[in-house]
Amino acid sequence: MRRSVTLAVALIAAMALGRAITDHLPIGNVSSRPFVRTGRVDHALSLRYADVKVTDVRVVAFLGTPSGAAAPAGRFLAVYATITAKRQPQQVGYVGLLGGDGRPYAVTSRGSCSVPGAFYPTGLRYHVMYCFDVPKRALEGSRLELSQGVPGQGGGQARDDVARIALGLSRADVTKGWATTTGLDGFSGGFETADQKSLTLTEGSS
């Protein structure tokens, strides 16, 4: 009888230990929670699957499109970055902006802005420009967020490393950007060997 009780206690303890391990260490191929990697402008951020670097940030009044200038509800925040896939061509399924007001903002596909879902080649630095239509209160303290994944599945995230890059916009930057009357046009994503600079327009141009 005593032996049976001892075995039962040992079995219960083993089951409890196993439950604790699986609760804290996921046994699948995908982690239950993403790992946030923080960075800043002009500094490369190393993720498990890619290197990401924000190279420039601009606040503009409009974006050039084939049919003319597209105006935002607030201002367009254009974030220039490079993405270098490490081991295999990489799909970036989620790109967003965490505003200084604590709210998330989605990318816009207007103009020649880059959008989530593209595949990036292994070992080659690729230039992108992500754009966001944001209110003034969102600019100061805003951060770019980016993760691998498939658009439409799990919010575009694969529960893997998430880049969260502080864009470094000060109150003075916001004031200057909000007063601008210039816009951007002509960006085309590509490799570092190509000169990928946007053209500056004057307000009302097309």
Residue 80 belongs to some domain of the structure: yes
Mean pLDDT of 13-31: 46
pLDDT value at position 192?
58
pLDDT value at position 106?
95
pLDDT value at position 138?
98
State the number of CA atoms in the 13 A half-sphere of 119 facing the CB: 5
Residue 2 belongs to some domain of the structure: no
Residue 106 belongs to some domain of the structure: yes
Domain holding 156: CATH number? 2.60.40.1240
182: number of Cβ within 10 Å: 14
Residue 107 belongs to some domain of the structure: yes
The sign one gets for the Cα dihedral 41, 138, 154, 152 is negative
Nearby residues of 110 by Cβ (< 8 Å), 6 or more positions away: 63, 65, 70, 131
The sign one gets for the Cα dihedral 122, 40, 161, 138 is negative
Residue 3 belongs to some domain of the structure: no
pLDDT at 182 over 50: yes
Q: How far apart are CA 38 and CA 130, in angstroms?
A: 18
Residue 25 belongs to some domain of the structure: no
Residue 4 belongs to some domain of the structure: no
Q: How far apart are CA 68 and CA 185, in angstroms?
A: 10
Q: Which of 12-16, 120-124, 157-161, 170-174 has the lowest mean pLDDT?
A: 12-16
φ and ψ of 59, to 5 deg = -110, 125
Q: How confident is the model at residue 6 (pLDDT cuts 50, 70, 90)?
A: low
This model's pTM is above 0.85: no
The answer to whether residues 61 and 74 touch, using CB atoms and an 8 Å cutoff, is no
pLDDT at 178 over 60: yes
Q: Write down the H helix ranges in 48-202.
A: 171-178
Q: What is the pLDDT of residues 67-110, one digit of tens each?
A: 888 999 999 999 999 999 998 998 898 999 999 999 999 999 88
Q: What is the pLDDT of residues 28-53, one digit of tens each?
A: 444 445 688 999 999 999 999 999 99
**Domain count for the chain:** 1
Q: E-strand spans in the chain?
A: 35-40, 45-46, 50-60, 62-65, 68-70, 75-85, 90-98, 104-106, 119-120, 126-134, 143-148, 161-166, 182-185, 190-191, 199-202
Q: Which domain holds residue 59?
A: 33-202
Residue 67 belongs to some domain of the structure: yes
